[in-house]
Structure 1
Amino acid sequence: MLRTWTAIASTAAVLAFAAPVLAQDGAETSGSDKVNQVIVYGDDPCPASTGDEITVCARKPEGERYRIPAPLRGVDRPTSEAWSNKVLAYETVGRFGTNSCSPVGAGGFTGCTQQMINKARAERENGTDVRFGDLIQKEREKRLSTIDATAAEEQVSVEAEERAYEARKKAADAAAAGQAAGTTAP
């Protein structure tokens, strides 16, 4: 009986933690714009943006069209490692304890997160892959630069329509006042 209650309690705990994740599946991504990320080769045209969709094109040389992407072409080659990196690896052989990211010593696990962050930062800075985030930001800035001009044109047309409406309203009021004056006269 105790085993059944334990199973029910653990299942309820798992579902309680999974509910917020399930609720987020239909959530919008950052911004209301849809982003279409396309890699084009050589002189191929970039598809045009439509409506709320931003099309971002990364252009690569024609010779790269049928090749394996650069990040997947055998990155880990021990022969291409610099000698200074090998020396740094030898310097950390005896390190253990706090902030060392080793299974030995008290607090040896504490340096693993920082080591992982440093490695990810180095990969991102030295990566040769396309940076779609930068391309998307540039496309958004280009779209935002035209908004002010479009808004100014729209404002001018709205003000012209308002002046025309006011003129028609004054003319209609004057005509109604003239008719009212003509019917009330003896």
Structure 2
Amino acid sequence: MKHLLVPAALAAVAAAAPASAQSASEKINMVIAYSADECPVAQPGEVVVCEILVEEERYRIPSNLRYSTNPANQSLARQVDQIKYVGDFGAMSCNPAGAGGFTGCTQKFIEAAYKDKAEAEGVRFGQLIEKARAERLSTIDTEAAAEQERVEMIEREYMQRLERERAAEVPGEGAPPPPPK
């Protein structure tokens, strides 16, 4: 039991030390910076607390505001989507109330399917694949022309070698016949 009280007492003294060391005249300056160079130097009688964030976060909405569930922070498009079907009944409404309410269900399913398809990860991959394909096709004409030139050069060399061989004398053909024995 004594062993548990000693660490608790030390923790209480350590927590009280900064509060007692801080005087009423000290100024606390809390700064958010994106590199250590941006942190200001503390002046006498001032405490500077500098939080360094990663550079990618510089122009983003702060994380405490980014995931707010407050209805006031919803986009107008989302608000319109939510009230789009309020009081919607009858034909093309996908509502069990009213005549022909079932007729709009298919349309809702189709709209939801197209929305899912447009936001799917495969769409992004499809765009990346299309971009890579366009880059590859942009160089294919120059590569094909270079390959065609190389093949034609090999063919010319081959034809010249054949003509030289045809024009050359065949061994034993132009020599006089050997004397009879």
The TM-score range, normalised by the shorter chain, is 0.3 to 0.5
Q: Which has the higher contact order (CA 8 A, sep 6+)?
A: 1
TM-score by length of 2: 0.45
TM-score by length of 1: 0.44
